[in-house]
Structure 1
Amino acid sequence: MDQLQITSATPNSALLDLPWRLPLAEWPDEVLAALPRGISRHVVRFVRLDGRVLAIKEISEHVAFREFGLLRQLNKLEIPGVVPVGVVTGRRDDAGEPLEAALVTEHLAFSLPYRAVFSQSLRPDTATRLIDALAVLLVRLHLVGFYWGDVSLSNTLFRRDAHQFAAYLVDAETGALHRELSPKQREYDLDLARTNIIGELMDLAAGELLDDEVDEIGIGDALVSRYAELWEALTGVESFDVDERWRVEARIARLNQLGFDVGELSITTDIDGTTVRIRPQVVDAGHHSRRLFRLTGLDVQDNQARRLLNDLDSYRAATDRQDEDEPLVAHDWLQNVFHPTIRAVPRDLRRKLEPAQLYHEILDHRWFISEQAGRDVPMPETVASYVDNVLRHRPDEKAILGLAPGEKDPELDDDDVADEGAPEDDHFHLST
């Protein structure tokens, strides 16, 4: 008889306590976390274990190990995606009949499948913002040579990122990692994405979850346009006269504005030295989030980081400290502005949003009530107004985190934003 075996990136003996002898569809409610699930061709369940939430998917052993390996590689490449925990094999029921293997990943805190996003009655431009996020994710995947093979909203999770969304890959079983993708491979992935997304949006419209003004085909076409625009900005060759060298810095500044850092540029001149050609060679996403992390230690989404950096700049100007060392000013902003603002929100309400998103929304609320009042509303007054008039009425996201009532959220400390790292190289094996 096969022996239950858990192959894991990090050892966790608590995994052995889960009811692996039962088909996943029959797992008892007491081990499950009530989280919204996207559409999947496999049985997927969420469980609470050791203070965190795990996603478990029943799948064949070969595909489970293949997807586990791909997710680990993508994590090492710093591609937004779920973090793989392990693969469970050798499962048998009480009658000794074999059960499918299981892939275990960490649940992405504060994330939602697209159907849950649309069920919250968001603004009509929600579909466009989701597509923008998916286009950025697809470009990032293609830049590292990953062919997805099944691009869709269903295979993506979304997290709020200031006024936008950030997209995360959640299903890699049809993917493949290459040294570089050919234009045909990219084109096929993009065309498949367009087809799938139009179908998913039409399905939402049929279920009356989509605003009547949304053009499903137009949104699918917008993905193609947004992808092409971003790909050209990141990889396109630009030519200019040799006396226009300022355009090199302008190209880099434009990429920074899009949220990307340029690690390397290819610069060539023609034979007579009158024309310069530049092309980015190494492009990394997360320009603003890296800068904020260096200054404050806060690890947040890139648009959130952009907003927080703007507030830091405002603080620097308001305190007349433009000539002081930036890391020192950032430390004071963190201790005197950011952390006190987050702590002013009642603890039981903080878990509704990530700290950076919470701060972003408080800044938005401050602008709104200041305009109404015709004066600059102080932050303590702003927080009290935001909590009473906005935050208390938001959908309770405890269920999104998989927390029982009164249970402490391990992702949210008083002062810090959780830093989720990729697993180490070694595999650990647990068996019974």
Structure 2
Amino acid sequence: MRKVELLAPAGDLERLKIAFTYGADAVYIGGEIFGMRSAAKNFSKEDMIEGVNFAHERGKQVFVTINIIPRNDDLLQLKDYLLELQEIGVDAVIVSDPGVFTYVKETIPNMEIHISTQASTTNAASAAFWYNQGAKRVVTARELSFEEIKELRENTPADMDIETFVHGAMCMSYSGKCVISNHTTGRDANKGSCAQSCRWKYTLMEEVGPGEYKQVLDDIDPEFFFNSKDLCMIQYIPEIFDSGITSLKIEGRMKTAYYVATTVRAYRMALDEYYKDPENWTFNPMWLEELKKGSHRDYSTGFFFDRPDSNSHNYKSASYIRNYDFIGLVKGHEYETGLVIVEQRNKMYVGDKIEVIGPFKETMHATILEMYNEDGDPIESAPHARQTVKMKLDIDVEKDYMLRKPITVLNI
């Protein structure tokens, strides 16, 4: 049967490796220039080479974003950068600007090109235009419904890929074209420096007379009225297949390795179950619960079924929901002692009841029985950021498994 690509974000080399380990088919990354997430750690040339080699050894792919809205001076470095990407061996570049597209075709004509969601492709004619120019893939605008995507699929060449965001943060502005950040902070959202000013608290006032103002939306307090909920489509795998989408894209190059692991793992499980028996696939609530154990906002279905209404925004808070702490990443084993080597990510204690996740594995429960520092001295807690600890657990774990524990809320 037809299979879809699971495409994950990777803000750095660690997250790239975690994405592939936990089941992604491809990742999209940014270099140190030309990407829409300048605040992400992003990839140096050396890291990009290592990441591409890691992917290709596993039959996976790496796509690189070149999707800023450039000015003339931005283009001065572009040809050299494109030649570097070709030399490294990346599998495709993601572009939104026709000028950048032209540079790619002229400079590295054999490179696969994907048209970014920033290009606002909302119809079959636009998609076909890009295909006829030489694009292999179109990333649809986030403002399309399943019905519109299906119609686009039916009226475009069969070998053109359709990539669509199915999970992650939603932008309140059309296809991400926004200047609120520019106005409030001077940071250019269309060149990768969005300050997410839409997540701030605002008061909306109406002038009802000279020097006289009335608060609008005064039934909403506080007024985070630009604050979109996150997108989550894990419950709708059959609808995704029926629409003709060929690549499922997860948002989040700014997110942590733990976010990448939990999100990729949940969608991987849902997709693999669908492949086993599409006709009898049923949604497993556990997959959604796993997604909720990562940092997230309340979820919505975006534009997929209808235009968003007030239920697609969270007017009360712009804060992320965090019910679990990612406390450690398994780095290996000390075979002479049988202890597990863990890189600490949040404070943990001997005696903690924890959960353990691994690629293609059900969630496991464990207890931290013993802990030692790098010198082998026993310790009761691991309070220092990214310290290496050795521990004894009551279950077997493998490299790249992740440890987490529920956040305890104190009622004072």
TM-score under structure 2 normalisation?
A: 0.24
Q: Indicate the structure with greater strand content.
A: 2
Provide the TM-score with structure 1 as the length reference. Answer: 0.23
